[in-house]
């Protein structure tokens, strides 16, 4: 299945330029590649796309129409033949979030495995999309009048109503949300934000603050309305010894959300930054 070319070669695209696009102009693979490039600046964008094309070719040749056949073929090709699986042994390895590493190592987490499934399925002519299910990202395959939900982390298993209800029970969500749009395809911007949020948690836990700062930069660009990302970036800049950047973020935070619950705490950080700046004058 031939893809329309992006406005710029993916490898030459800046994340901020990408994030500024209208939602309908976003491309999931491009966003995922740009996120992965932050960890490996020499990332071979074309190589990743070629691998996805190669994985989709056998599926496209089958010309499958029934959803159950599409789901079975996807699981067979990606999970059994190619060997994609969930990285249960090292779930919080940041490489699990990067599509190039997922394809190379053949392990990942629910959202990155789902990304591979969606990209391969779409190339094969299937109607596939990502589902931001609570606590565990999933894939949706659509037909003319029905859909199936797949779990790539579980080898591409098709989930029925009882499976989905049980998963909601595990995370403390009411079952009724299944009828309230929970299984609708997730907007691409929110999928990318979820990938970045995973990395934010990982880098924070590992104490990798420079990498955390890059992730927060990406979140602020991708979701300008994210007050938490802007605030956290300001506080992190203060910790990393960048007071001007910290003040800019925290002042903007207070201007945009003057009644924020943590406003007083943010003002205290700004006061400390002001005092530090005064002492540095000579």
| Dihedral angle sign, alpha carbons of residues 8, 12, 15, 16 | negative
The distance in angstroms from the start CA to the end CA of the chain is: 65
Report d(CA 156, CA 17) in Å as an integer: 34
Q: Are 43 and 32 in contact (CB under 8 A)?
A: no
The two three-digit tokens of residue 39, written as one number: 């960890």
Overall residue count recorded for the chain in this entry: 282
CB-based contact 152:84 (threshold 8 Å): yes
Q: What is the pTM of this model?
A: 0.90
The CATH homologous superfamily to which domain 189-280 belongs is Tetratricopeptide repeat domain (1.25.40.10)
Rounded CA separation 154/110 (Å): 9
Q: Is the pLDDT of residue 36 over 70?
A: yes
pLDDT in tens, 68-85: 999 999 999 999 999 999
Does residue 282 have a pLDDT over 60? no
Q: How far is CA 130 from the centre of its chain?
A: 10
pLDDT at 11 exceeding the cut of 90: no
Residues 43-52: contacts with CB within 8 Å, 24+ apart? 43/11, 43/100, 44/100, 45/9, 45/10, 45/11, 46/11, 47/100, 48/99, 48/100, 48/103, 49/10, 51/103, 52/103, 52/116, 52/119, 52/120, 52/123
Averaged pLDDT of the chain = 92
Output phi, psi for 245, to 5 deg.
-65, -40
Tell me the domain boundaries of the chain: 10-179, 189-280
Cα separation, 14 vs 41, in Å, equals: 12
Task: State residue 10's pLDDT score.
Answer: 60
Q: In this predicted model, what pLDDT tens digit does every residue of 157-213 receive, in sequence order?
A: 999 999 999 999 999 998 888 877 899 999 999 999 999 999 999 999 999 999 999
97-123, pLDDT tens digit by residue?
999 999 999 999 999 999 999 999 999
CA nearest 216: which of 206, 204, 207, 205? Answer: 204
What does the alpha-carbon distance between residue 108 and residue 89 come to, in Å, rounded to a whole number? 10
CB 51 within 8 A of CB 113: no
In the predicted model, is pLDDT for residue 63 greater than 60? yes
Q: Retrieve residue 206's tokens.
A: 């590992």
CA–CA distance, 121 with 107 (Å, rounded to integer): 18
Burial of 53 (0-12, 13-18, 19+ CB in 10 A): middle
| Sign, Cα dihedral of 219, 222, 228, 234 | positive
């Amino acid at each position: 299945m031939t893809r329309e070319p992006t406005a710029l070669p993916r490898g030459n695209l800046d994340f901020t330029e990408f994030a500024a696009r209208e939602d309908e102009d976003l491309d999931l693979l491009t966003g995922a590649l740009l996120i992965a490039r932050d960890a490996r600046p020499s990332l071979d964008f074309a190589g990743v796309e070629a691998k996805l094309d190669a994985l989709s070719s056998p599926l496209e040749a089958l010309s499958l129409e029934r959803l159950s056949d599409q789901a079975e073929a996807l699981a067979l090709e990606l999970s059994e033949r190619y060997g994609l699986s969930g990285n249960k042994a090292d779930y919080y390895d940041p490489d699990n979030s990067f599509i190039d590493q997922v394809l190379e190592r053949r392990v990942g987490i629910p959202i990155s495995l789902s990304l591979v499934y969606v990209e391969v399925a779409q190339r094969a002519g299937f109607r596939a999309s990502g589902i931001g299910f609570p606590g565990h990202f999933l894939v949706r395959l659509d037909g003319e009048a029905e859909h199936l939900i797949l779990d790539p982390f579980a080898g591409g298993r098709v989930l029925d109503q009882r499976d989905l209800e049980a998963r909601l029970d595990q995370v403390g969500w009411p079952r009724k949300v299944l009828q309230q749009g929970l299984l609708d395809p997730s907007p691409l911007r929110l999928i990318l934000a979820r990938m970045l949020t995973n990395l934010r948690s990982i880098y924070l836990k590992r104490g990798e603050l420079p990498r955390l700062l890059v992730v927060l930069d990406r979140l602020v660009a991708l979701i300008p309305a994210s007050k938490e990302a802007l605030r956290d970036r300001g506080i992190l800049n203060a910790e990393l010894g960048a007071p001007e950047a910290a003040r800019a973020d925290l002042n903007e935070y207070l201007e945009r959300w003057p009644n924020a619950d943590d406003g007083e705490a943010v003002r205290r950080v700004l006061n400390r930054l002001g005092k530090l700046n005064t002492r540095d004058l000579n």
